[in-house]
Amino acid sequence: MNRRKFIHRTAVTSAGIGMTTVIPSGVWSAPAAPSDTLNVALIGCKNMGFGILRHHLSNPGVNCVAMCDIDDNVLNAQAGQIRENFSQNPRLYKDFRKMLEQKDIDAVIIGTPDHWHCLLLVAALQSGKDVYVEKPMANSIEECNIMVKAAKRYNRIVQVGQQQRSGFIFQKAMDLIRSGSIGKLRKINIWANFNYGAGPAIVADEPVPPGIDFDMWLGPAPNRPFNRNRFHGTWRLFWDYGGGLMSDWGVHLIDMGLWALNIVKAPEKVLVYAGNTFSEKRARETFDSMSVCYPGSDWVINFDMTAGVQRGPYDMPYGIAFIGDRATIVADRSKIQVWPEWDDEGNKLKAEEYRFTEGKESHGEHVKNFIECVKTRNTPACPPEIARAAALHVHIPNIAGRTGDSVLIWDDANNRFRNSEAANRLIAPVYREPWELPRI
Ligand SMILES: NC(=O)c1ccc[n+]([C@@H]2O[C@H](COP(=O)([O-])OP(=O)(O)OC[C@H]3O[C@@H](n4cnc5c(N)ncnc54)[C@H](O)[C@@H]3O)[C@@H](O)[C@H]2O)c1
């Protein structure tokens, strides 16, 4: 009965006055065919996962039937918002295994830190759910491989949260590149400079605060005392859980470079500088400065990041420049501009100028694409193969930085580095018992 309940929450335009009215949730409900409803559950409720859940719930026919978090404070606060703003009453869990036993869940959103993505994805697929999993797909090469295999084996829809693939700005960039308007694409320069990547001030370990199942938060990662800097939000600066700015922003932006070049595979070779140039000692293991070069046959991608500053080329803290023979396209999530080359003799521009500065967030579109694909069973905008390619482009430079290799050669067919045994030892994480790396 519950699944047949359809709560109409769409924005409708009032005829004649051109105003947008939102019908409050729960005011009007009518039966709908089961095919029109989608019951979603969220694992990892604090920040991004919750945002993605909200995007789901602003689509008609989507219900939140379960939420799971290891932190009672987060779980109760976010569930309260879902009750208040969407008139939904999800069942609450601290252990995802119990949640996945709930029969009426169609799709699971995974919004936990990266070290949990693989285990949770496989568990959700094995219980028959479709999955929206946040980026980067996983925290290691081997986990990405497993996730690609699992999505195929269990034949479910998997969307990875590289939402720029669903937004206007980068779709426009791809149209411009594919229509030939910038000439031959020769070089892609990417940069990402953010203060947060330098890390927070160092604080001491402390007892686990009340309401938190820290053992479950650590999951497959090594056991250690609780420290706030390695927990909510800032976990991404510690290798056991994330990959620093390189993977946090790199995966989004390098994904755009790969899309432009129609590449859906791992890099064969990376040249890497990875180091720490920031003046203060902060709580962080990941690098604060990296310059990475991915050389192709007749193109090159450069990625450059500096944590602890927020200035960058074109006065943009992060962005991407697609450099063609006739013009360069410069873009971030809200703006895109074509900068034409000019002809020496006639001073004529070699391409048409173009500028758009009102880009919208693309999360909502990416979620819509997922919902659509759950219904049609079509391949979503960012399936596991695409996400794996982007993830390997960030994990390999991080591995190079950790082993001190300035060049790594990757043999994708044999899943190993050709030139570094130290790097080979970082392909797969060692899971802490009782957790085991899934075998598919
Ligand atoms: N697509 C984007 O633009 C974007 C932006 C930010 C973050 N992200 C991604 O979203 C994910 C979450 O990042 P965040 O910044 O929201 O992290 P966060 O630390 O703010 O939230 C993670 C939540 O997961 C919970 N959690 C951890 N382990 C759990 C488990 N085993 N079971 C249930 N809950 C668990 C935590 O308690 C916390 O509430 C990451 O993979 C991150 O890379 C994506």
Could you report the per-residue pLDDT of 110-168, keeping only the tens digit for each? 999 999 999 999 999 999 999 999 999 999 999 999 999 999 999 999 999 999 999 99
Closest atom of ligand 1 to 112 CA is 24
Q: Tell me the H-state helices in 311-410.
A: 363-376, 384-403
Whole-angstrom CA distances from 39 to 63, 72, 109, 220, 377 are 5, 22, 11, 28, 16
Which residue type occupies 436? Answer: E
* Beta-sheet strands, E only, within 220-367: 269-275, 289-295, 300-306, 318-324, 327-331, 336-340, 354-356
- Count Cα atoms within 13 angstroms, Cβ side, for 352: 7
pLDDT digits (tens, 9 = 90+) for 257-277: 999 999 999 999 999 999 999
User: Three-state secondary structure along 6-39?
Assistant: EECCCEEEECCCCEEEECCCCCCEEECCHHHCEE
Three-class SS of residue 384? helix
Which run of H or E residues covers position 72? helix 72-86
pLDDT at 34: 56
Which residue type occupies 244? Answer: G
* Distance of alpha carbon 415 from alpha carbon 198, whole angstroms: 32
The rounded Å distance from CA 323 to ligand 1 centre is: 34
* Distance of alpha carbon 346 from alpha carbon 319, whole angstroms: 31
* Distance of alpha carbon 184 from alpha carbon 177, whole angstroms: 8
Mutate to test the pocket of ligand 1, among 47, 286, 334 (most ligand atoms within 8 A of CB): 47
Quick one: tokens of 214? 């820290």
pLDDT, mean over the chain: 92
**Cβ < 6 Å from ligand 1: which residues?**
43-49, 68-71, 74, 96, 111-114, 116, 134-135, 161, 163, 216-217, 219, 232-233, 235, 248
Residue (of 391, 98, 46) closest to 242 by Cα position: 391
In this predicted structure, the answer to whether residue 9 has a pLDDT above a threshold of 80 is no
* Distance of alpha carbon 122 from alpha carbon 376, whole angstroms: 22
Quick check: 338 and 349 in contact, CB under 8 A? Answer: no
Mutate to test the pocket of ligand 1, among 50, 92, 97, 134 (most ligand atoms within 8 A of CB): 134
Whole-angstrom CA distances from 423 to 140, 244, 285, 304, 406 are 12, 18, 17, 21, 11
The rounded Å distance from CA 392 to ligand 1 centre is: 20
Q: Is residue 63 very low, low, confident or very high in pLDDT (cuts 50, 70, 90)?
A: very high
* Distance of alpha carbon 224 from alpha carbon 212, whole angstroms: 15
Q: Which of 15-29, 38-52, 376-390, 405-419 has the lowest mean pLDDT?
A: 15-29
**Residues paired with 41 in a beta bridge:** 66, 108
Three-class SS of residue 80? helix
pLDDT digits (tens, 9 = 90+) for 411-434: 999 999 999 999 999 999 999 999
Quick check: 201 and 284 in contact, CB under 8 A? Answer: no
Spatial CB neighbours of 368, under 8 Å, sequence gap ≥ 6? 59, 166
Average pLDDT of the segment spanning 242-251: 98
pLDDT digits (tens, 9 = 90+) for 187-236: 999 999 999 999 999 999 999 999 999 999 999 999 999 999 999 999 99
Whole-angstrom CA distances from 101 to 27, 62, 409, 415 are 31, 20, 43, 34
In this predicted structure, the answer to whether residue 19 has a pLDDT above a threshold of 50 is no
The rounded Å distance from CA 43 to ligand 1 centre is: 9
Quick one: tokens of 174? 């791809």
Residue (of 97, 105, 96) closest to 75 by Cα position: 96
Average pLDDT of the segment spanning 318-328: 98
Backbone angles phi, psi at 39, to 5 degrees: -100, 115
Backbone angles phi, psi at 339, to 5 degrees: -110, 100
Closest atom of ligand 1 to 75 CA is 39
Residue showing tokens 């602003």: 58
CA nearest ligand 1 atom 39, residue? 46
Closest atom of ligand 1 to 95 CA is 32
